[in-house]
Amino acid sequence: MWTSWWLWALVAVCTGDQFRDEAERIMRGTPVIDGHNDLPWRLLTMFNNRLQIERANLTSLANTHTNIPKLRAGFVGGQFWSAYTPCDTQNKDAVKRTLEQIDVIQRMCQMYPETFVCVTNSAGARRPQPALLTGVRQAFREGRVASLVGVEGGHSIDSSLGVLRTLYRLGMRYLTLTHSCNTPWADNWLVDTGEDKAESQGLSHFGQSVVKEMNRLGVIIDLAHVSVATMKAALRLSTAPVIFSHSSAYSLCQHRRNVPDDVLRLVNQTGSLVMVNFYNDYVSCRQEATLSQVADHLDHIKKVAGAGAVGFGGDFDGVSRLPVGLEDVSKYPDLVAELLRRRWTEAEVRGALANNLLRVFEAVEQVSDHTQSPEEEPIPAAQLQASCRTMYGYSEAPSLHRQPGALLASLTTVLLGLGLL
Ligand SMILES: *[C@@H]1O[C@H](CO)[C@@H](O)[C@H](O)[C@H]1NC(C)=O
Ligand SMILES: *[C@@H]1O[C@H](CO)[C@@H](O)[C@H](O)[C@H]1NC(C)=O
Ligand SMILES: [Zn+2]
């Protein structure tokens, strides 16, 4: 009796290790590309973006979910770093703060070139120009973390297609259409809870131009944080697959940040991707959650949308509560071991780790067409909140630089012309 218990325990331990070993073997060839990490926001709030001060050393950074040893232990090979600025910057300094967050990501790559390489495409070949043109697959081969910029929140473009294009040139490869606030052209998830009013019924006419321009440029459309109507409008309109960079399954946890099943079916039909968020509140709808519950979300999305539609978008350093077993970025192999325990095939696991994202990214690159004319039609002036902005370009009124005398003279001319003087 004693012997059989002892044997049973030994077998249990060995099989546990076996899945974990298998996970590491797979991840040595196909490391994880995570959809959303808020370390840049932490660097702003902890150090005001000063990377050179000693406490900010990313090798020994403490009190964060992310640092270099943890990324290594977690087999992280690609990361969309979030260039995030909160909704209270909308119509104020959102563009400036977004530029600063892109800058801090690029300085991370410069300061730690053995660990990070900033990339802007999926490719395997190193192009003639170094650094910015290296692709994800090349970074994998070099054993460095392919570092991509994801801009979190449409308010970051300040309703300007010119800003959208400029952010693309600075390396932005996804734009989340909203954060947790409406933009003048797209509605956010709080519309679905009733906390915000629907303004664009998904996407306004200008919002549709934004999506078309993202397709033309080759920027992935990210639907985390948007309302269900916005999800459906973008999925219908986009000619390339889209992603949810950090969202989980609504049918397992009825939080409006999550993706409902009817949308998951559209995800399947469009070859799109849901990168599962680990935040307890979206995983279990409670303060506590477990790694196994995260695997339930991955299982559910696989069941409804297909194994090709699953990815990881941990939201590390952007959330306050994480599941037991997924406390920081070193824990991805434990989640992969759990999927193997649940009989995911090696190909399915490699898909969830990186290949599904690479498939979407390549399709987005394929659809992009820089020979096509850019979208030019500005947002209507009436849709902008003007308290903190000038309105140059919108009005035929006399230029503000004219002297009051000149203004009076032209007014006189107009009135004379109308026969009023
Ligand atoms: C960070 O600290 C390590 C030692 O822990 C040191 O080797 C490295 O040069 C430091 N990096 C920077 C950029 O200061
Ligand atoms: C969509 O579903 C079909 C049928 O179940 C499946 O063959 C296909 O692989 C799915 N697509 C993705 C992206 O997983
Ligand atoms: Zn977010």
Amino acid at 343: R
CB of 323 within 6 A of ligand 2: the answer is: no
Tokens 């999925």 found at: 235
Residue 6 has pLDDT above 90, yes or no: no
Amino acid at 203: L
What pLDDT was estimated at residue 17?
Answer: 87
Contact 195, 184 (CB under 8 A): no
Residue 16 has pLDDT above 60, yes or no: no
Q: Where are the domains of the chain?
A: 22-389
Distance between CA atoms of residues 335 and 296, nearest Å:
11
Mutate to test the pocket of ligand 1, among 50, 59, 61, 104 (most ligand atoms within 8 A of CB): 59
- Bridge partners of 311, per DSSP, are 275
What pLDDT was estimated at residue 4?
Answer: 56
312-349 as b/e: b if 16+ CB within 10 A: bbbbbbbbeebbebbebbbbbbebbbbbbbeebeeebb
Residue 112 DSSP SS3: coil
CA-proximal residue: ligand 2, atom 9 (nearest): 306
Residue 319 has pLDDT above 90, yes or no: yes
User: How far from chain centre, in Å, is Cα 211?
Assistant: 15
Q: Which residues line ligand 1 (CB under 6 A)?
A: 57, 59-60, 111
CA-proximal residue: ligand 1, atom 6 (nearest): 59
Residue 26 has pLDDT above 90, yes or no: yes
Reported as a single tens digit per residue, the pLDDT across 234-288 is: 999 999 999 999 999 999 999 999 999 999 999 999 999 999 999 999 999 999 9
Mean pLDDT taken over the chain: 92
Whether 262 is catalytic: no
pTM of the model: 0.91
Reported as a single tens digit per residue, the pLDDT across 367-396 is: 999 999 999 999 999 999 878 889 999 975
* Backbone angle region of 260, left / alpha / beta, with phi > 0 → left and psi within -120 to 50 → alpha: beta
User: How far from chain centre, in Å, is Cα 343?
Assistant: 29
Whether 246 is catalytic: yes
Q: Which of 165, 18, 16 is nearest to 95 (CA)?
A: 165
CA-proximal residue: ligand 1, atom 4 (nearest): 59
Contact 323, 297 (CB under 8 A): no
What pLDDT was estimated at residue 401?
Answer: 53
Superfamily per CATH, domain 22-389: Metal-dependent hydrolases (3.20.20.140)
What pLDDT was estimated at residue 153?
Answer: 98
Residue 402 has pLDDT above 90, yes or no: no
Residue 398 has pLDDT above 50, yes or no: no
Distance between CA atoms of residues 367 and 372, nearest Å:
11
Whether 152 is catalytic: yes
Distance 285 CA to ligand 2 centre (A): 28
What pLDDT was estimated at residue 396?
Answer: 52
Alpha-helix runs per DSSP H in 30-152: 39-47, 68-73, 94-111, 136-142
Ligand nearest to the CA of 281: 3
What pLDDT was estimated at residue 268?
Answer: 98
Reported as a single tens digit per residue, the pLDDT across 83-134 is: 999 999 999 999 999 999 999 999 999 999 999 999 999 996 555 455 456 8
Reported as a single tens digit per residue, the pLDDT across 66-76 is: 999 999 999 99
What pLDDT was estimated at residue 385?
Answer: 87
Mean pLDDT lowest among 3-17, 233-247, 302-316: 3-17
Residue 155 DSSP SS3: helix
Ligand nearest to the CA of 68: 1
Whether 401 is catalytic: no
